[in-house]
Structure 1
């Protein structure tokens, strides 16, 4: 396994994170689609997203955000801001956050020259200026690469480019983290119940089945308050834990039905 400075991380990784970068997201000019897709892609491999941050194109704020995420062991996918226009500042901020200079990456330069020839200069070639120590993330859509630095993966903002690149990273570098056993999610809809009345039951089921996560999602309907009470984790234990929740809700005297 490569060391952390070259883009992979040990089994001690805390989880998966996402950075969605761009003023256009925060101002409503574009709607983010990356987070939902990343959740799907991770779930298909038995993994889950631990956090997601939205950050605009402010260099100081983005650099601070990257410094904080570099300080963790999380595996982070960053979407957007790696082009050559003045508002694309992710490459520069990643270098500043890591405390390394921008250098012209020879492999990225070769790709750009092969694709654009003399038209790579003077502007497109800037996309080959990457933080020192970065590695290439291949782009099957138009070949203009993303890059990795430590355990972060910097991808374009365009979904048609970023999504296959994201899957390549997971399948190439982190297959050893995929869950070998099926994962599941099961829940009940419990009517007319204050969420606080379910806390003891949730704690009991969580203690009995420590490999599952017990959760509650309250909502309000025209008929009154409703709580979605559920568990997620290894499929075999989820089946047992959801049955324990059913029995517990029955014992408390509340009405429930299986969530769709």
Structure 2
């Protein structure tokens, strides 16, 4: 099982808006001892969105999706999720209730009586049409919910509500002020049992005047000796403040990672490499 992120919207790919979701999702996951395994950007193309969701829904991953769940012509995510699952879109009763509350609140703010049968308000209800079997995600900002679905073949929706280990997709609007609290809610509601289950330790040094090819045998030896550790090497081009260097380190299970770091420093000393703490 892994955590993934799908960010949907032409405005991100065209540069009209700068994506803020990726760094925030990293922060939300990290604060719970979790990490992001993959991320994808997808434009407002129904065929591509459907194909992407078909692929990710066939996994056991827990996936956050942002964007395209409104009811304007360029919003396709709800329909594509239903198509990928092979189920119809249905007006969710709790979504209908929450959207009704929003309609009432909006009318009250204007000093009006809500007209639930107006064309505008009937159209608003389309934002509550989710794939059959979906559950709503509360929206603390304006009450119009997102939705969650269980990946096919993982578990039933009933069991998914009782375990953190069900693969699921969680769909939220593209607006950060709405999406981020909604993602935190689904993590705390559905996946809390996964929090802080795999503690990680990461340590690194900055190595100067060395080629990655010269460091590769040391890196391979460390990963072979410590199977719960990954060795990373991040070259940096020099600038006015610092020479060319490599950020070389280890990350993984704390006990093995600590031992691997000692081994890494010893190996650098044997190579007479110049390094300092990162």
The normalised TM-score by structure 1 is 0.89
Could you tell me which residue of structure 1 aligns to residue 60 of structure 2? Answer: 73
Whether 1:250 aligns to 2:269 is yes
The superposition leaves residues 103-128 of structure 1 with CA deviations (integer Å, 9 ceiling, x where unpaired) of 11111111111221426622111001
The superposition leaves residues 34-86 of structure 1 with CA deviations (integer Å, 9 ceiling, x where unpaired) of 11111111111221111000001010111111111111111100011111111
Structure 2 regions of 5+ residues with no counterpart?
A: 105-115, 151-167
Could you tell me which residue of structure 2 aligns to residue 112 of structure 1? Answer: 99
Say if 1:185 and 1:233, in contact at 8 Å, map to a contact too: yes
Whether 1:146 aligns to 2:163 is no
Say if 2:8 and 2:67, in contact at 8 Å, map to a contact too: yes
Could you tell me which residue of structure 1 aligns to residue 87 of structure 2? Answer: 100
Alignment partner of 2:22 out of 35, 38, 57: 35
Mean CA deviation greater in 36-45 or 118-127: 118-127
Cα–Cα, structure 1 residues 181 and 49, in superposed 2: closer, same or farther, change >3 Å?
closer
Aligned mates of 1:130, 1:102 — CA distance in 2: 5
Aligned mates of 2:5, 2:203 — CA distance in 1: 26
Alignment partner of 1:175 out of 192, 212, 227: 192
Whether 1:45 aligns to 2:32 is yes
Aligned mates of 1:35, 1:210 — CA distance in 2: 29
Could you tell me which residue of structure 2 aligns to residue 240 of structure 1? Answer: 259
Say if 1:193 and 1:225, in contact at 8 Å, map to a contact too: no
Alignment partner of 2:230 out of 199, 205, 213: 213
Say if 2:101 and 2:143, in contact at 8 Å, map to a contact too: no
Aligned mates of 1:204, 1:61 — CA distance in 2: 42
Aligned mates of 1:230, 1:39 — CA distance in 2: 20
Could you tell me which residue of structure 1 aligns to residue 248 of structure 2? Answer: 229
The superposition leaves residues 185-233 of structure 1 with CA deviations (integer Å, 9 ceiling, x where unpaired) of 2111111111121111112222222222211111221576421111122
The superposition leaves residues 129-185 of structure 1 with CA deviations (integer Å, 9 ceiling, x where unpaired) of 111111111111221110011110001111111111111111111111122464332
Whether 1:121 aligns to 2:121 is yes
Aligned mates of 2:198, 2:131 — CA distance in 1: 38
Aligned mates of 1:56, 1:113 — CA distance in 2: 30
Aligned mates of 1:43, 1:232 — CA distance in 2: 14
Structure 1 regions of 5+ residues with no counterpart?
A: 1-12
Q: Pairwise CA RMSD of aligned residues?
A: 1.6
* Deviation for aligned residue 1:241: 2.0
Could you tell me which residue of structure 1 aligns to residue 182 of structure 2? Answer: 165
Whether 1:22 aligns to 2:22 is no
Say if 2:90 and 2:130, in contact at 8 Å, map to a contact too: yes
Aligned mates of 1:171, 1:201 — CA distance in 2: 41
